[in-house]
Chains A and B, each alone.
Chain A
């Protein structure tokens, strides 16, 4: 049987990092407090001092720290992204997660010893793309976009020696990571440019009698009745009128949850499972890490008799966006 995948958990703050480590993450991923990472939200992330402490804490317990520098350098400011890479190397992180090819090139020339991962934002869905990044930049692991079926993931793994990391749980950024400009359409800023989708300064939650309205830069995205679960204020998860009908035209507010597929994911040789949510609190990190740890350990102990415990599902369903879960693309019939 293949070995157990690493559990890679999000850390938006030092308490979140410690929650991940204490609850059984094999690795944590984090970013700087600036637009070099795709969760550039006010008050979130690490400065040099808190990062040093985070690295120390994780390493003392034998866990890895992965640094996300996963946005694209903006014109005239490449030096900021280069500095972020140099800083990550100085901090002694175990790997840097990069999306931009220019940055991969910089990192591999300047720091040939540094382990590099290809970010999900790099949008590499084929083994050809992944093997290219291995040949040119020595990339050791690639995070696959959430668009592939399980059979396609397996096909990629069979045709590359690069480690493969997949998403296991969290809010879905639908179908287009690394290439989505919906947020820019509404407010001129997107994850790959400023490091945030639907930045908070453009978001307005409006409480009306019997309903709550969400607006992004003035554009009405959704209206929730008092008992309806809410979601993040992103365009992809809005309800729109299309040919006279109002519905979630692009995607429903849901979370990805692969618990059911864990034995298959292990069997095909996935190297790491990633949990989304650097924007969430330490409480979420603790809840999700603990649950996935228990599920992975159960799958290791007996793959054949593995079944999803209702308490795991309940715990994950509770913290889910829109309180719904989906297997995402993994079990879709398309090719």
Chain B
């Protein structure tokens, strides 16, 4: 699916995480939310499933960079949440390499989950909806990202 290039499994050294925790967290949230909204605009995400995300709080945590982003879906848009006031409805945690492998469709989420490389906590049904929604997306053939070319 991505030529001969494969993203290796790696873990960044621990000091990266402690650095990351000291940095402001909002850039991650903005990038993530920007990407999700771009997918919305291209009508890649199905309406019926989107309705089930309304007002839910999501958190994505990149363990080895110490980065964290929270966001929600409200009235047709994904929005960053900078200071979440409650526990998220659904939380994902993994090292950067696992997230990259998922995004590149190089590894399957269940595989990563079975192997304990991806942690999913919170509302399991919501997790399944999100997973299946992303699996069903037919990503347009983009010009190859530098990351995904060999």
Contacts and interface: CB of A to CB of B under 8 A. Distances in A.
Interface in B21-41: none
Nearest to A201: B125
A327 B131 CA distance: 30
A283 interface: yes
Interface stretch (A88-96, A114-122, A262-270, A317-325): A317-325
Given A12-B135, A44-B132, A204-B124, A281 B119 contact: no
A15 B135 contact: yes
B127 interface: yes
A230 interface: yes
A200 B125 contact: yes
B114 A13 contact: no
Contacts of A320: 114
Given A280-B110, A284-B110, A13 B136 contact: yes
A282 interface: yes
Given A15-B138, A43-B49, A284 B114 contact: no
Contacts of A283: 1, 105-108, 111
B63 to A, nearest CB: 12
Contacts of A228: 116
Contact of A321 (B1, B52, B114): B114
A43 B115 contact: no
Contacts of B127: 200
Interface string B116-149: 1001110011011111110111100000000000
A200 B124 contact: yes
B49 A42 contact: yes
Query: Taking chain A's interface residues, is the majority helix, strand, or loop, or is none over half, making it mixed?
Result: mixed
A66 B128 CA distance: 24
Chain A, interface residues (CB within 8 Å), range = 35 or more
A203 B124 contact: yes
Contact of A286 (B1, B114, B124, B128): B1
Interface in A293-335: 318-323
Nearest to A199: B125
B109 interface: yes
B89 to A, nearest CB: 13
Contacts of A44: 128, 132, 136
Contact of A205 (B105, B121, B132, B133): B121
A112 to B, nearest CB: 35
Contact of A42 (B109, B121, B128, B138): B128
Contacts of A322: 114
Contacts of B111: 283-284, 318-319
A281 B109 contact: yes
Contacts of B82: none
Given A200-B128, A280-B110, A321-B114, A206 B121 contact: yes
Given A282-B105, A283-B105, A43 B114 contact: no
B107 A42 contact: no
B117 to A, nearest CB: 10
Contact of B132 (A42, A230, A284): A42
Interface in A183-213: 199-201, 203-207, 212
Given A200-B125, A224-B116, A323-B114, A13 B132 contact: yes
Contacts of B107: 283
A201 B124 contact: yes
Given A42-B125, A206-B121, A230 B136 contact: no
Q: Lowest 5 CB-CB distances: which A-B pairs, in order?
A: A43-B132, A284-B108, A13-B136, A200-B125, A203-B124
Interface of B: 1, 49, 52, 105-111, 113-116, 119-121, 124-125, 127-133, 135-138
23 contacts: A15-B138, A16-B135, A42-B52, A42-B125, A42-B132, A43-B131, A43-B132, A43-B133, A43-B135, A44-B128, A44-B136, A200-B125, A203-B125, A207-B121, A212-B116, A226-B116, A231-B114, A280-B108, A281-B108, A282-B105, A282-B135, A284-B111, A286-B1
